[in-house]
């Protein structure tokens, strides 16, 4: 195993949105498994109380990992990698699963973009001003649909408030500069309580950001056509009280970035979105509360070829869900819910590789929990109806339609062995109906440098997932160890046929390998270990040692490996806080990946050594956080195996980033 060497100095001081003046110990302590996760269950439960493995990034930990894209922000977490299509586009991969098997949410509803159709399409979420990111590793299909068979990533911001404010005005201002791409970013967020009493408040929310970066420097030189310009903002109004919350927010996101894969092609992305959320927090009938979330979005991105308009992708739709929390019934508490999702997706232009498609999903789900002595049992089920209707156009002269009904069920138990240890076990059966791209593609897909062919005869993809987790909750060492396996009956993926589509017979560069969507039985299995060693905890100083490692294997029943599966990776680090200072070091090691699918190239291993330093200054109601970080200070060449661009786009080279946040 070859493990080259790399250093990065990482920022440690970005704060969550401040309602009160925080203390360093409140934000900088290394704690695992005690965060309440709203994504994995309708009930308020900590990470230790859930059958699913979860990760939460917030406060200092989020600041340490924050990158321009969601995939790169999460890529150092156990069991998570990314599609890394340059600095402009990157989507999370969880335990080797990506695309339409990972559900990316913004405050609990879908992003309504085009990121699942291709790795060169950006997720329409900017990590710069988010409050926290929650990740559910493993099947989460019961609450969020069959497209969550691999996991869920929920990005949570401040745009709709749910808590009574301590102050009339609060907010933060951020600015930072990075040398690797001459990147400059700045943003601000503020909440103004236009009405504030002891029982209720009306809160006006405003935020905005802008980011500009040139071509990224790599050990091999500048990465051509990797520049990024992004900006966005929102305005919202929320009503908050002890018994009822409601809020409405309008937000926009624009991004112009180079595709990297082609020297003169850029993507000009624009999304406008409206979100509504409300919660009733009092009893009515047999119910103890209710939650309603609804998001609707208008998305468009244009592929600019040498500045001229090329292919245009659009998606308009909505995602809405209602959850009713019920009082104890035969010792069970839980929630019943309904969800409706609509996506009207269209591609217009020479590279329209699939027809216009209207996809609608309607679902009913139930989640129940009961506690018997030291055992907490959790059960759930979801029935979902998906309909796809395509429209005829020049490239696809015939319209087609298809309806599928799927059923997903799960059961699990958490055993509280003693106050220090807990064990969790779960079994999940999931069915996923193929999407429009898998069914009806038939054309050149330049983003993945392939000619894609779908198969309208694809069956429903079925899987059985099993997970066993041991958790240490208190003491010198805290953390978790997870074993998982997921067996697929009819796993859908793109297979290299070995044939070539000639494209333009007079242009050999127009030739593309043909990939066919096929179904094969497959098995995913692996392990994850994440631990914190609390070496010293005092009033003035804290020192923690962090260690994690994860490995995923994925192969077809015929023993062929599946493509773009992340290799073994691990991380060891130290984190220290003392008064207003914080500092630390991390060393991430990524192994070679020689387990490749037919026709796929292997990648060498690499290592990322990082260190960070930050200083906090409190002056009256304002908290100032200064930070500095560097990346790849040895300018080591590293390539991510899960990236379609691994052979042409190494990870960024040597850089230093410095910045300041003021919270009030």
| CATH number of the domain where residue 402 is located | 2.40.170.20
Structural domain range at position 412? 7-663
Tell me which of 138 and 333 has the higher pLDDT: 333
Question: Rounded to 5 degrees, what are φ and ψ at 447?
Answer: -55, -35
Q: Among 24-38, 118-132, 295-309, 605-619, whose mean pLDDT is lowest?
A: 24-38
Q: Which residues, including other chains, have CB under 8 Å from residue 130's CB and lie 6 or more apart?
A: 62, 155, 156, 157
Query: What pLDDT does residue 599 have?
Result: 84
Mean pLDDT throughout 35-63?
Answer: 87
* Residues 476, 626: Cα–Cα separation, whole Å: 30
Mean pLDDT of the chain: 90
Q: Give the tens place of pLDDT for each residue, 377-435.
A: 999 999 999 999 999 998 899 999 999 999 999 999 999 999 999 999 999 999 999 99
Question: Rounded to 5 degrees, what are φ and ψ at 129?
Answer: -115, 15
Query: What pLDDT does residue 143 have?
Result: 87
Mean pLDDT throughout 27-50?
Answer: 74
* Residues 635, 652: Cα–Cα separation, whole Å: 8
Whether residue 62 has pLDDT greater than 90: no
Q: Give the tens place of pLDDT for each residue, 198-257.
A: 999 999 999 999 999 999 999 999 999 999 999 999 999 999 999 999 999 999 999 999
Tell me which of 508 and 20 has the higher pLDDT: 508
Number of domains in the chain: 1
Whether residue 295 has pLDDT greater than 50: yes
Mean pLDDT throughout 630-654?
Answer: 91
Query: What pLDDT does residue 634 have?
Result: 87
SS3 content of the chain, % helix, strand, coil (to 5): 5, 60, 35
Whether residue 19 has pLDDT greater than 90: no
Nearest CA-CA partner of 267 in 92, 115, 81: 115
- Helix ranges (H only) for 395-496 are 436-440
* Residues 124, 298: Cα–Cα separation, whole Å: 11
Whether residue 3 has pLDDT greater than 60: no
Mean pLDDT throughout 151-178?
Answer: 93
- Helix ranges (H only) for 108-251 are 141-144
Domain membership of residue 2 (yes or no) is no
Q: Which two tokens stand for residue 80?
A: 């998570």
Tell me which of 344 and 5 has the higher pLDDT: 344
Residue 263's CB: how many other CB atoms inside 10 A?
A: 10
* Residues 454, 443: Cα–Cα separation, whole Å: 9
Domain membership of residue 651 (yes or no) is yes
At 503, is the pLDDT very low, low, confident or very high (cuts 50, 70, 90)? low
At 282, is the pLDDT very low, low, confident or very high (cuts 50, 70, 90)? very high
Domain membership of residue 142 (yes or no) is yes
At 509, is the pLDDT very low, low, confident or very high (cuts 50, 70, 90)? low
Query: What pLDDT does residue 16 have?
Result: 31
Q: What is the largest CA-CA distance in the chain?
A: 75
Domain membership of residue 577 (yes or no) is yes
Q: Which residues, including other chains, have CB under 8 Å from residue 247's CB and lie 6 or more apart?
A: 159, 160, 161, 162, 236, 237, 238, 239, 276, 277, 278
Domain membership of residue 15 (yes or no) is yes
The answer to whether 295 touches 282, Cβ cutoff 8 Å, is no
DSSP assignments along 342-394, one per residue: EEEEEEESTT--S--EEEEEEEEEEEEEEEETTEEEEEEEEEEEEEEEE---S
Query: What pLDDT does residue 37 have?
Result: 86
Q: Give the tens place of pLDDT for each residue, 256-265.
A: 999 998 889 9
The answer to whether 629 touches 10, Cβ cutoff 8 Å, is yes
Query: What pLDDT does residue 426 have?
Result: 96
Whether residue 342 has pLDDT greater than 90: yes
Whether residue 12 has pLDDT greater than 70: no
Query: What pLDDT does residue 223 have?
Result: 95
Query: What pLDDT does residue 185 have?
Result: 94
Query: What pLDDT does residue 43 have?
Result: 87
* Residues 145, 320: Cα–Cα separation, whole Å: 12
Helix (H, G, I), strand (E, B) or coil at 437: helix
Domain membership of residue 1 (yes or no) is no
Entry pTM: 0.91
The answer to whether 146 touches 432, Cβ cutoff 8 Å, is yes
* Residues 382, 367: Cα–Cα separation, whole Å: 9
Mean pLDDT throughout 293-320?
Answer: 94
At 139, is the pLDDT very low, low, confident or very high (cuts 50, 70, 90)? confident
Query: What pLDDT does residue 35 have?
Result: 80
């Amino acid at each position: 195993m070859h493990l080259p060497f790399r250093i990065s100095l990482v920022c440690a001081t970005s704060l969550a949105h401040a309602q009160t003046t925080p203390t360093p110990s409140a934000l900088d302590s290394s704690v695992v498994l005690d965060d309440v996760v709203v994504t994995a269950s309708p009930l308020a439960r900590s990470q230790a109380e859930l059958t699913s493995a979860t990760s939460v990034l917030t406060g200092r930990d989020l600041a340490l990992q924050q990158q321009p894209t969601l995939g790169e922000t999460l890529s150092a977490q156990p069991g998570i990698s990314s599609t890394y299509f340059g600095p402009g586009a990157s989507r999370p991969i969880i335990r080797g699963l990506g695309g339409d098997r990972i559900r990316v949410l913004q405050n609990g509803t879908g992003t309504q973009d085009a990121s699942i159709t291709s790795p060169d399409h950006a997720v329409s979420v900017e990590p710069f001003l988010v409050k926290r990111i929650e990740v559910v590793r493993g099947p989460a299909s019961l609450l969020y649909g069959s497209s969550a068979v691999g996991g869920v990533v929920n990005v949570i911001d401040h745009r709709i408030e749910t808590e009574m404010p301590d102050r009339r005005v609060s907010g933060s201002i951020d600015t930072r500069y990075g040398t690797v791409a001459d990147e400059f970013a700045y943003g601000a967020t503020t909440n103004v309580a236009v009405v504030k009493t002891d029982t209720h408040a009306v809160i006006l929310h405003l935020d905005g950001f802008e980011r500009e970066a040139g071509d990224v420097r790599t050990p091999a030189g500048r990465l051509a056509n990797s520049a990024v310009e992004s900006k966005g903002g929102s305005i919202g109004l929320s009503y908050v009280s002890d018994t009822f919350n409601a809020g409405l927010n309008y937000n926009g996101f624009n991004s112009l970035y180079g595709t990297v894969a082609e020297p003169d092609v850029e993507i000009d992305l624009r999304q406008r979105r409206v979100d509504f959320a409300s919660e009733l927090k009092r009893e009515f009938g047999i119910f103890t509360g209710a939650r309603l979330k609804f998001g609707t979005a208008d998305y468009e991105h244009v592929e600019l070829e040498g500045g001229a308009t090329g292919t245009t992708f659009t998606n308009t739709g909505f995602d809405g869900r209602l959850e009713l929390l019920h009082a104890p019934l035969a010792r069970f508490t839980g929630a019943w819910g309904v969800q409706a999702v609509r996506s009207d997706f269209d591609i217009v232009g020479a590279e329209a590789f699939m027809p216009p498609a209207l996809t609608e999903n309607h679902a009913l789900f139930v989640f129940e929990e009961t506690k018997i002595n030291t055992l907490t049992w959790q059960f759930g089920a979801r029935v979902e109806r998906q309909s796809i209707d395509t429209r005829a156009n020049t490239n696809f002269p015939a319209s087609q339609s298809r309806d599928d009904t799927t059923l997903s069920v799960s059961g699990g138990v958490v055993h509280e062995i003693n106050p220090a240890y807990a064990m969790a076990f779960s079994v999940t059966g999931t069915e996923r109906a193929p999407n429009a791209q898998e069914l009806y593609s038939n054309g050149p897909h330049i983003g993945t440098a392939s000619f894609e062919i779908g198969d309208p005869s694809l069956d429903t993809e079925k899987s059985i997932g099993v997970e066993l987790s041991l958790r240490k909750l208190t003491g010198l060492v805290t953390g978790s160890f997870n074993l998982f396996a997921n067996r697929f009956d009819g796993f859908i993926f793109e297979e290299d046929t070995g044939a070539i589509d000639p494209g333009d017979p007079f242009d050999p560069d127009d030739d593309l390998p043909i990939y066919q969507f096929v179904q094969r039985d497959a098995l995913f299995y692996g392990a994850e270990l994440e631990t914190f060693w609390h070496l010293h905890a005092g009033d003035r100083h804290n020192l923690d040692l962090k260690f994690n490692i994860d490995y995923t294997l994925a192969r077809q029943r015929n023993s062929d490996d599946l493509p773009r599966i992340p290799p073994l990776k691990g991380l060891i680090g130290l984190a220290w806080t003392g008064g207003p200072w914080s500092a630390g070091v991390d060393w991430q090691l990524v192994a070679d990946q020689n387990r490749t699918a037919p026709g796929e190239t292997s990648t060498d291993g690499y290592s990322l050594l990082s260190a960070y330093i930050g200083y906090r200054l409190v002056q009256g109601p304002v908290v100032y956080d200064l930070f500095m970080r560097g990346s790849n200070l040895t300018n080591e060449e590293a390539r991510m195996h899960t990236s379609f661009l691994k052979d042409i786009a190494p990870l960024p080279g040597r850089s230093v980033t410095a910045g300041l946040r003021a919270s009030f």
